[in-house]
Structure 1
């Protein structure tokens, strides 16, 4: 593993798949300001590489991808420093949302608070069979903010309210039923489940996937009619990449 900085390790295979590992963040992979900045810097460093096909975001241990934000650091905050702290986490989530290639969240163990916000910012969430999810902020006197705003879009307003206002945790099967995660792995099969999704992504046109991710991000914020009309121009521009011509011709040749 190559270390981009003390909190961000990178492994890259010959397919262009990168595993970005959050490092030196404790047993539960807790994000302090330093860890948040390090991981964000990793995504920003990789974003300019057009040969990256997918990123797997993982924790250093099997107890969590991100267990939550650093309670010890937060206990010392005042209004100004609290806003600086949460802005850092917002910027990490935005770096993931704006990353050109698909980002897969690999989710063993606990995924709480800021960890769930980061997971929500990823494109695909793959959970271990015994993973647990929750938004415990209100129990320590703070609201769930920033990319918790993605949760109603993922699981609906009622379930998002329940998750954020009761601070109760849910297990992996519940998270799957709610649409909070996309896949729950078999026991011992988390890496296999991640690899299954990686292979599916690699079968797609790399430029088409990048265009699709960007379009989906815009659809999250645009009214329906604008989303539909925007898509017309995006569809046309996709033919400038040469990818549709090559892949459509390959499909037709296989049908013969």
Structure 2
């Protein structure tokens, strides 16, 4: 089974995360495939917008696959952040708009990816949040993305508690733009993406480039800070211990 599914709906390219048995949690090969798909859609003149969603009815994505991250040392942690720099940087610099069709939970790095999209559509049962602290992973890129969108006070609260926000709260604070019945999420996302694809392409590209330019210095500073912090964090062994305890509490092993 391929980790992602690709399709075209008129002028809209659709990327579906396709590991529902692992709540669409991603590892490096899956992220690399997503990055290439985004690049391909961005280079395709027949595509005017992109929709990202998840397979199944439980999760858009649970974020990082612990089976991969559990064994990180300092050097692998730094390389990992460089991989996120590529993924996040591409989302920020894509010339075409991205609509996130949230079919379920968006946690951790998946929450961050969802926030880096332009418009988010969800249903009343979704949850979103930054639970890294609960599994011993320091949060550096996430708080920067959250601060840009939510402000400092809520960023601190979400980062330090690791709580997941229910759909109503996500909608009320503006990170879910459209809250629709579960069965209508994809249709609404495709409708919005088609509308965006019909906009003036040069103006769209210039607008998105300016959004990235406004926050570029902060993004670069954040990547450097993330490398420093994760080298310290993974070098301590704390994330591995907390991940093991986190999964044991849920009756899972890191290989499952």
* TM superposition score category, shorter chain reference: 0.7 to 0.9
- TM-score, structure 1 as length reference: 0.78
Which residue does 2:148 correspond to in 1?
153
Structure with higher Rg: it is: 1
Q: Does 1:7 align with 2:3?
A: yes
Alpha-carbon contact 1:101-1:209 (below 8 Å) kept:
yes
Change (3 A) 1:211 1:50: farther
Q: Cα distance 1:96–1:25, how it changes in 2: closer, same or farther (>3 A)?
A: farther
Match of 1:121 among 112, 116, 119: 116
Could you give the per-residue CA deviations for residues 51-107 of structure 1, whole angstroms, max 9, x where no partner exists?
321000111222222211011211111111122223223321222221110011111
Partner of 2:29: 34
- Who is 1:196 aligned against? 191
Q: Distance in 1 between matches of 2:18 and 2:216?
A: 33
Is 1:54 equivalent to 2:24 in the alignment? no
| Cα contact 1:27–1:63 (8 A) shared by 2 | no
Aligned to 2:105: 110
Q: 1:73 aligns with which of 68, 71, 75?
A: 68
Distance 1:148 1:55, change over 3 A: farther
The answer for the alignment partner of 1:92 in structure 2 is 87
Question: Which structure 2 residues correspond to residues 102-251 of structure 1 after superposition, within 5 A?
Answer: 102-221=97-216
Partner of 2:232: none
After superposition, what is the alpha-carbon deviation per residue over 1:216-255, rounded to whole angstroms, capped at 9, x for unaligned?
22233479xxxxxxxxxxxxxxxxxxxxxxxxxxxxxxxx
Matches of 1:63 and 1:77, distance apart in 2: 27
The Cα RMSD (Å) is: 2.1
Structure 1: distance between partners of 2:46 and 2:214: 25
Tell me how many residue pairs correspond in the alignment.
218
C-alpha contact (below 8 Å) 1:54/1:102 kept by paired residues:
yes
1:87–1:154 distance in 2 versus 1, CA, 3 Å: same
Contact 2:130 2:159 in 1 (8 A): yes
In structure 2, what is the Cα distance between the partners aligned to 1:183 and 1:148?
23
- Of stretches 55-64 and 145-154 in structure 1, the one that deviates more from structure 2 is 145-154
Q: Is the 8 A contact 1:23 1:60 kept in 2?
A: yes
Gaps of 5+ in 1: 224-256
Q: Please state whether the residue corresponding to 1:204 is helix, strand or coil.
A: coil
Deviations 1:128-181 (A, max 9, x none): 221001111111212112254111111111111111111011111101112222
Gaps of 5+ in 2: 219-256
Deviations 1:114-134 (A, max 9, x none): 111111111111112210011
Question: 1:175-231 deviations in whole A, cap 9, x for unaligned?
Answer: 1112222221234221232133224314422322222111222233479xxxxxxxx
The structure in which a higher percent of residues are helix is 2
